[in-house]
Amino acid sequence: MRSPLAAALLLTSSASLALGQGFYESCFRTWELGYHHNSNFVVARCPSTPASSAPAPPPNNTAVPAAGGNVTSAIDLLDCLKNTEGVLEPGRLGHAFYSCQDCVASTTDATISCQCRNSHNDYLPTSLDLDTVITNNNGILGCFDLPG
């Protein structure tokens, strides 16, 4: 029987893992930020089967068909991010872009940078590593329990 502390630590570890699985490395380190109807989307082309689960080549070095393939997928960041006093944060169905603007995607990592409004109506610069929020689940981008 687990102690309450052990159960709490296990739950915390599982939640952290689920939130921070990332997409950037598994999606070939390329992504785009799309904009449509007052929302920002992450679009990426990702393998539908992780490389670690691809079958090993046979001993005679004959070719093995690729496991899965590549899938282009998108996730609406309104579903994934919230604005807390001018700071972008992970937030399920957070609707950050009702109060954030001028968002740009990094070309060297998975960072999004925006200007987000606080309660004083000031727009503040803020950035967030989307790899801490967005996952690649067999080629489909997602966040929290929401698929793209």
What is d(CA 112, CA 53) in angstroms, rounded to the nearest whole number?
Answer: 30
d(CA 103, CA 118): 16
Place of tokens 């944060």: 89
Of 11 and 105, more confident: 105
**pLDDT tens, position by position, 47-77:** 886 544 444 443 433 333 345 688 899 999 9
d(CA 131, CA 128): 9
Convert the pLDDT of each residue in 25-55 to its tens digit. 888 888 888 877 777 889 999 888 654 444 4
Q: Which domains does the chain have, with CATH numbers?
A: 23-48+68-143 (2.30.60.10)
Tokens 């000031």 -> residue = 122
Residue 76 CB partners (closer than 8 Å, separation 6+): 39, 40, 41, 148
> What is the side-by-side strand order in the sheet with 123-129?
100-105, 111-117, 123-129
